[in-house]
Structure 1
């Protein structure tokens, strides 16, 4: 059974940001304030949110002029945070792109590692929605989990 991101509720922080990559620093700042953790503990959250937002901008109407992303964060348990990024759905005429891990990328490739990073830094991740409509990609993150010895992402 998929883990759905709750649509609201106590403790859920929600913000909307536009389609400009120049907003990346503002998004990270909003997340840092929201998690209320020291920088070294917040790092996995910031990386995951940055990757999910970048994918929304690249693969959906969120990256088009007047596009936007919705970011939600919520503490689930003492140590686990739930983060979710909702896009604006596919761009008109664009093939629907669903979030999935691709085979290991070529070590010299310039892209294709984002969801692998999300996978490595999350307890679990997934997506909700209907293909062809806005999608929400979510991740459960334990900022106290030990770092992987080798991150091949």
Structure 2
């Protein structure tokens, strides 16, 4: 399933509505924590594409069947900008700069790869009953994507989708 996104901030709301309808169609209830987390991830990744590239993008959502325990839900946003996503340090008064920290905190895995003249940013959430997330770097290896970004202020923070 995919949705074409125009380079307009209003598209973020449309992407959330589209994702909600796809989740409902796959048997994931709107009030389930998985749905709330996925909608937040859609919002962050689409916002990044719209704000930072100013170019059209494509949102893709891969949903396993509702009864598939332990399956993986994958979200991707592809755009035509070759600029890599860069984690930023946002102080307490900043109105932006926390998107990748949220993605890193909420997804089981995330990363990005070049695609043609642009890139694809992706994240995955495992549909399983057990808690905890496997920290996998967006840049390879088995650590958080923020390892090596000393002083960004993300250490010790917990994220919860409410």
The reply to whether TM is greater than 0.5 is: yes
Q: Distance in 1 between matches of 2:29 and 2:80?
A: 32
- Return the TM-score normalized by structure 2: 0.67
Q: 1:2-151 alignment to 2 at 5 Å?
A: 13-36=1-24, 37-41=28-32, 42-62=35-55, 68-75=56-63, 78=69, 79-89=71-81, 97-103=83-89, 105-129=90-114, 133-142=117-126, 150-151=158-159
Q: Distance in 2 between matches of 1:54 and 1:108?
A: 19
Q: Distance in 2 between matches of 1:141 and 1:100?
A: 21
Following TM superposition, the consecutive aligned residue runs of length 4 or more in structure 1 with deviations greater than 6 angstroms are none
Report the RMSD for the aligned CA atoms in angstroms. 2.7
Unaligned runs of 5+ in 1: 1-12, 63-67, 91-96
- Return the TM-score normalized by structure 1: 0.70
Q: Deviations over 1:62-88 (max 9, x none)?
A: 2xxxxx210111136634200000112
Which of 1 and 2 has higher RCO (CA within 8 Å, sep 6+)? 1
Change over 3 Å in CA distance of 1:151–1:107 after alignment to 2: farther
Q: Distance in 2 between matches of 1:143 and 1:25?
A: 25
| Number of residue pairs matched by the alignment | 127
